[in-house]
Amino acid sequence: MTREQAFWQEYQLSRAQRGLDPAAELRHLERAHILGQRYFSEHLRSHLWMLAWAWRQRDVAEGLAQLLRIPGSIGSLLGVFPLGNPGSRRVGALTPQPLPEDLKALLK
């Protein structure tokens, strides 16, 4: 599987959890963010998906965090992004995080 295929797979897995398990849905969106943050369109999409998630959950704090992070997606064009960052408010926007083991090979 390619990195791009894994990105879309995480999105599909998030969709499968919609309405069933919001926490699992967000985890898959975070994984999609990790996979796509080097690529502007995927990085932007992942933040838009998390904004939509926040809207559905009525999570104002997450929604505001995403509104601040959406313009930050431009960092992908400049090669500036904190590798491994899940893109949600639970981790600071510029804080790198360890890569999940199963994603490491896809991000080399």
Query: For the segment 39-98, what is each residue's pLDDT rounded down to a tens digit?
Result: 999 999 999 999 999 999 999 999 999 999 999 999 899 888 889 999 999 999 889 999
Q: What is the pLDDT of residue 98?
A: 94
C-alpha span between 85 and 65 (Å, rounded): 14
Q: Is position 106 within any domain?
A: no
Q: Is position 105 within any domain?
A: no
Q: Is position 59 within any domain?
A: yes
DSSP structure class, residue 1:
-
C-alpha span between 37 and 22 (Å, rounded): 22
- Quick one: pLDDT band at residue 101, thresholds 50, 70, 90? very high
Q: Is position 10 within any domain?
A: yes
Q: What is the pLDDT of residue 108?
A: 81
C-alpha span between 35 and 30 (Å, rounded): 9
Q: Is position 13 within any domain?
A: yes
* Structural domain of 40: 3-100
Q: Is position 107 within any domain?
A: no
> Residue 53: what are its φ and ψ, rounded to 5°?
-60, -45
Q: What is the pLDDT of residue 79?
A: 84
What domain count does the chain have? 1
**What is the per-residue pLDDT across 10-49, written as a single tens digit (0 to 9) for each?**
999 999 999 999 999 999 999 999 999 999 999 999 999 9
Q: How many CB atoms are closer than 10 A to CB 88?
A: 22
Q: Is position 17 within any domain?
A: yes
Reported pTM: 0.95
